[in-house]
Amino acid sequence: KSNRREPFHRFDAGKCTTTLLAIFEALIPPADEEKRRKQLLTSLDELVSGIWSEARLFLFGSCANAFGVCNSDIDVCLSIEGESATRSEVVCTLAEALKANHMQNVQALTHARVPIVKYSDPKTGISCDVCVNNMLAVVNTKLLHDYAQIDVRLRQLAFIVKHWAKCRQVNETYRGTLSSYAYVLMCIHFLQQRRPPVLPCLQEMEPTYRVTVGDIDCAYFDKVDNLKGFGQQNKETLADLVWSFFDYWAFRHDYTHTVISIRTGKYLSKVEKDWTRRIGNECHLICIEDPFEVSHDLGRVVDKHSIRVLRDEFRRAARIMQQEVNPCPALFEPY
């Protein structure tokens, strides 16, 4: 397998990095987007407090994890302790209240694995997904956010990979490709593996942050200000990293035997996770361990057909990075 990679690429690392950084900058949300989000959150907070006095709202997902591009929807978790109604019932109650409050496109998805209400706020023009008591998502959002503070190259690489995945239509879980969350985990793991490493493994360090969600103990080192400069020994440019990332997933990853795990900062074997067979709809053709819900494989949505689509796209991207003098236009060419 390894003979498929020639030792040189044709792009100039400096020039290609400049182009990639310009794309990254253009994807960063403008400052006023933050303001509009706060506005939406304030009015949602008023609404839910009127129904459930104990209710609290938490942002999660790309609007809070540092990996959000402009114009993305916002993800909100409504936390109500000691509520006897089911999550679906809460979702229905909230949907009615939002409609009465003149919100648009209100939809209650009560049968989803995680019940949510979708709506858009006419005042801010923002679309919002609200779920109920999904605190694990809030905690993994903080973990991703903390990783992003350690080395700027993580945020840059993840923006580029997410943008590529959207352009190439391989960021669609309902069609068997990977979620944005999965791509960010792949980027973190990749940067933990560089030699010298660009990122540490926060869950393997002495915990400074600890919460329990259900029966899951979430603990890791979160004093990331102390880790600024961690990756300085590694001099790779963004272009080098993008090239190596695609080369890794195209030609080097052992899809048959291994699981990537940011929790351990290592590779695990599918055998030790018992992810060797298909159970129901869950396949394990590409294995990405969730950092806290360790029985959860983010790759389980990928099936026999979509794994080919995905691996073809990784190979396409790797070849472009390998062969083109100016790889960006072809890399992000809409599918």
| Residues contributing to the site for Mg ion (CB under 5 A) | 61-62, 75
Q: By CB under 6 A, tell whether 297 contacts ligand CTP.
A: no
- Give CA–CA dist 55/97, Å, rounded: 14
Q: Which of 24, 52, 147, 181 binds ligand CTP (CB under 6 A)?
A: 181
Please return the burial class of 183, using the count of CB atoms within 10 Å of its CB with bins 0-12, 13-18 and 19+: buried
9 or 37: CB nearest ligand CTP? 37
27 or 97: CB nearest ligand CTP? 27
- Give CA–CA dist 78/47, Å, rounded: 12
Q: By CB under 6 A, tell whether 140 contacts ligand CTP.
A: yes
Q: By CB under 6 A, tell whether 328 contacts ligand CTP.
A: no
Closest approach, Cβ 298 to ligand CTP, in A, equals 6
CB atoms within 10 A of CB 295: 10
Q: By CB under 6 A, tell whether 159 contacts ligand CTP.
A: no
68 or 200: CB nearest ligand CTP? 68
Q: By CB under 6 A, tell whether 188 contacts ligand CTP.
A: no
- Give CA–CA dist 317/246, Å, rounded: 6
Q: Which of 24, 52, 58, 60 binds ligand CTP (CB under 6 A)?
A: 60
Q: Among residues 238, 237, 203, which one has the least CA distance to residue 222?
A: 203
Q: Which of 16, 150, 239, 298 binds ligand CTP (CB under 6 A)?
A: 298
Closest approach, Cβ 181 to Mg ion, in A, equals 8
CB atoms within 10 A of CB 220: 23
24 or 60: CB nearest ligand CTP? 60
The residue range among 99-107, 177-185, 266-274, 276-284 that interacts with ligand CTP, by the rule CB under 6 A, is 177-185
Closest approach, Cβ 96 to ligand CTP, in A, equals 25
Buried b (16+ CB within 10 A) or exposed e, 27-45: bebeeebeebbeebbeebe
Q: By CB under 6 A, tell whether 115 contacts ligand CTP.
A: no
Closest approach, Cβ 214 to Mg ion, in A, equals 22
Q: How far is CA 123 from the centre of its chain?
A: 28
Binding mask 264-283 for ligand CTP (x = CB under 6 A): --------------------
Q: How far is CA 48 from the centre of its chain?
A: 27
Q: By CB under 6 A, tell whether 177 contacts ligand CTP.
A: no
60 or 275: CB nearest ligand CTP? 60
Please enumerate, as own/partner, the contacts of 63-67 that have beta carbons within 8 Å and a separation of 24 or more: 63/37, 64/141, 64/145, 65/141, 65/142, 65/144, 65/145, 65/148, 65/184, 66/144, 66/145, 66/148, 66/149, 66/155, 67/144, 67/148, 67/155, 67/158, 67/159, 67/162, 67/180, 67/184
CB atoms within 10 A of CB 130: 24
Closest approach, Cβ 64 to ligand CTP, in A, equals 8
Any idea which residue has 């792949």 for tokens?
A: 186
Q: By CB under 6 A, tell whether 67 contacts ligand CTP.
A: yes
Q: Which of 61, 115, 291, 299 binds ligand CTP (CB under 6 A)?
A: 61
129 or 240: CB nearest Mg ion? 129
- Give CA–CA dist 221/289, Å, rounded: 19
The residues of the shown chain that bind ligand CTP, judged by CB under 6 A, are: 60-62, 65, 67-69, 72, 75, 137, 140-141, 179-181, 298
